[in-house]
Amino acid sequence: MLQGQCLCGLVYYHYQAELEKTILCFCQHCQRAQGTMLGWNSPIDQSKFKIVRGQQYLKEYFHSPNKARVFCQECGSPIYSYRLDLLGVLRLRLGTVTEGYVPAPTEQAFAHRKPQFLQVSLLETSVRHGV
C-alpha cells in the first residue's frame, strides 16, 4: 500500500499493492519533464491505483503520440505516465510517494546520459516513507 501527492497537495493517490521494481531513466524527455537529471519511476497496475482527490486538476501531455505524461496543472508535479499501446500499466513518479515502501532501483535506462558526477549504487538502498 502506497500513498502520495503532488507538491501543492490538491492531487492525492492510493496504490493498493506493493511496488515490484523501480527504474531510473536518464532520457532527455524525462530530464525535461522532471526538470532534473533523471526520472525515478515504477510500473504499476492501473486497476489498483486510485486518485483519491484532485482528479480534475490532472492534465495529460502527449509529447510522444502514444505516451501521456500526467501532472498536476496547479503545481506542475508529474504524477504518472501511461502508454496507449500498454493498457493497464502506469508509470508512477516516485518523488510523489509520501507513505509506503519504495525499493531501490534495479535498472537504469539511457545510462549514457547520466551526469558523470552521479554514482548510482543499484539495490543497495531503499526508501521507506512515513511511519
1's CB contacts (< 8 A; 6+ apart) are: 14, 15, 16, 17, 18, 99, 100
Closest to 11 (Cα-Cα) out of 60, 67, 78, 62: 78
| Part in contact with Zn ion (CB under 5 A); list of ranges 23-31, 86-94, 111-119, 120-128 | 23-31
Amino acid at site 126: S
Pattern 80-99, Zn ion, x by CB under 5 A: --------------------
Residue 113 or 129: which CB sits closer to Zn ion?
A: 113
Segment near Zn ion (CB under 5 A), from 26-34, 81-89, 100-108, 114-122? 26-34
Residues interacting with Zn ion, by CB under 5 A? 6, 8, 10, 25, 27, 30, 72, 74-75
